[in-house]
Structure 1
Amino acid sequence: MQHSKSLLRLLTLLMITCLGHAVLAQNVDDIVAKHIKAMGGDKLGQLQSMKITAEMDIMNMKVPITTTIVQNKGFRSETTVQGMTVVQAVSGNTGWTINPMAGNTKAVALPEDAVKSLANETDLTGLYRYKEKGYKVTLDGEEELAGAKVYKVTMILPSGVRRINYISKDTFYILKIVAQTKVNGQDIMSENTQSDFRAVDGVYYPFASEVTTSAMPGTKMGLKITALEINPKIDPKIFEMPQ
């Protein structure tokens, strides 16, 4: 009889544990679903390319940046500092850069971890259909962020990159992303606080953000988007390394 009672307690505990995980999974899926709806719903699935023109305010300088992305295929950024343009690009598993500020006026290959980091940026749709992408997502509680109540949703990409998304309980926009990645053999932590969400062709996007990174301690970078094009026609050759 005592053995039966112990077995019953164990089974009850297992059921509670399993049901608890099921409820938690349901909660995170509900939150993600509301986030996707807030960002444009199934219009996110129609994103094939994007071109972003922005200006970064860093160390009292206005730095223009143009970023071009083709979904899951290519990423290219062009940043002009003091008259010199730095280019970084990835296509598939390869990447390259032209950095005249470092004395490289011709294209050189990017390190493998830098390529992996930039390749993650070719996904324009974030949490949309995250299970199909192989992303692992968990709900890690609730917090307050600058007076706003948020859900803390952690996303781990197949590459191993960890991103913590702070999703507003009010708007279901992502108000902040904390990302951990590896660049040049070093673990880099970055924070991106997002605001000024606007709709472009039915897809919502943050037009203002403030970025800090452990690679540049004490430095805040403000970014404002001046133009955003959805599904522009992109020549895939811009991602290829110049000879």
Structure 2
Amino acid sequence: MKKIVFVLTGLIAVTVVNAQSLDEIVKNYSAAMKTDKLSGVTSIKITGKMSAMGMEMPMVMFMKNPNKIKVTYSFSGQDMVSVFDGEKGYMINPMTGSSDPVELTGEQLNQVQNNNAFKNELLNYFQKGQLTLEGEENVNEKPAFKLKANLGTSPIFMFLDKGSYMLVKTSATVDQMGTSMNVDTYMTDYVDIEGVVMPKKTTAMANGMEAAVISFDTIEVNIPMEDSVFKIN
């Protein structure tokens, strides 16, 4: 009986330690990302470019606290626009043969919203009890904490650098036109612009091959930004 009690006590202790470890890791991540200061930021404007399939496309992003976002990519004189105006999401993609806005729903809408710097996925998962600590793993030859967002059949793995607590990699399996694909995304070159901490370079790898690279050239914070920026005419 004493052995059983001892074993159970040990298991409970291990569980508590793991929970405390996850709490501490997330706390340090939040501090590194200065999330307390981000809540006081009103707007963010980013210019940069995306390189994919041998093409380079200029990019402009507008974000307004708490949830508005607009992303525009320019290619061959045409603009591809994704926007969430705080209530609904839309996309304009002339490459489909039409310049009319199409309302976004489901996963497409989530993808647009998740690009918003004012929305922190990792903290959201933690607050919902969906985050677990899965050990450690090297990322770019440096040790990182491996966290798992338990989202049913499609979990997302997030890796935090052990030294800086910055998010340096995410890994997920996605369905692309009926085909399962492993997508690893790497975040590098972090900067702090007036309390806004973000990576200036993001590299997406699909099944081990480079799919796209997004790099930021300028980041402006707390600039005047009208709600009309996010309206689709």
TM-score by length of 1: 0.81
Asked if 1:57 corresponds to 2:51, the answer is yes
Could you say if the C-alpha distance between residues 29 and 160 of structure 1 is closer, same or farther in structure 2, counting changes exceeding 3 Å? farther
Asked if 1:23 corresponds to 2:49, the answer is no
Q: Given residue 222 of structure 1, which amino acid in structure 2 is its aligned partner? A: V
For 1:177 and 1:207, how far apart are their aligned partners in 2?
Answer: 16
For 1:136 and 1:49, how far apart are their aligned partners in 2?
Answer: 29
Matching residue of 1:206: 199
Could you say if the C-alpha distance between residues 49 and 11 of structure 1 is closer, same or farther in structure 2, counting changes exceeding 3 Å? farther
Counterpart among 227, 230, 233 of residue 236 in structure 1:
227
Q: Given residue 205 of structure 1, which amino acid in structure 2 is its aligned partner? A: M
Compare CA radii of gyration and give the structure with the larger one: 1
Matching residue of 1:107: 101
Greater alpha carbon shift after TM alignment, 128-137 vs 10-19: 128-137
Could you say if the C-alpha distance between residues 141 and 132 of structure 1 is closer, same or farther in structure 2, counting changes exceeding 3 Å? closer
SS at match of 1:118: helix
Structure 1: gaps (5+ residues): none
For 1:100 and 1:146, how far apart are their aligned partners in 2?
Answer: 38
Could you say if the C-alpha distance between residues 41 and 111 of structure 1 is closer, same or farther in structure 2, counting changes exceeding 3 Å? closer
Matching residue of 2:8: 14
Structure 2: gaps (5+ residues): none
Matching residue of 1:83: 77
RMSD: 3.0
- Tell me by how many angstroms 1:17 deviates: 2.1
Count of matched residue positions in the alignment of Structure 1 and Structure 2: 233
Q: In the TM superposition, what are the counterparts of 1:159-238 in structure 2 within 5 Å?
A: 162-179=155-172, 189-213=182-206, 218-238=209-229
TM-score by length of 2: 0.84
Q: Given residue 117 of structure 1, which amino acid in structure 2 is its aligned partner? A: Q
Q: Would the aligned equivalents of 1:195 and 1:207 in 2 still touch at CA under 8 Å?
A: yes
For 1:185 and 1:233, how far apart are their aligned partners in 2?
Answer: 43
- Tell me by how many angstroms 1:133 deviates: 4.9
Q: Would the aligned equivalents of 2:191 and 2:200 in 1 still touch at CA under 8 Å?
A: yes
For 1:67 and 1:102, how far apart are their aligned partners in 2?
Answer: 22
Structure 1 vs Structure 2: percent identity of aligned residues? 21
Q: Would the aligned equivalents of 1:86 and 1:100 in 2 still touch at CA under 8 Å?
A: yes
Q: Would the aligned equivalents of 2:203 and 2:210 in 1 still touch at CA under 8 Å?
A: no
- Tell me by how many angstroms 1:225 deviates: 0.5
Deviations for 1:125-151, whole angstroms, at most 9, x for unmatched residues?
526854785362211110111211111
For 2:178 and 2:135, how far apart are their aligned partners in 1?
Answer: 31
Q: Given residue 74 of structure 1, which amino acid in structure 2 is its aligned partner? A: K
- Tell me by how many angstroms 1:33 deviates: 1.7
Greater alpha carbon shift after TM alignment, 162-171 vs 146-155: 162-171
Q: Would the aligned equivalents of 1:168 and 1:174 in 2 still touch at CA under 8 Å?
A: yes
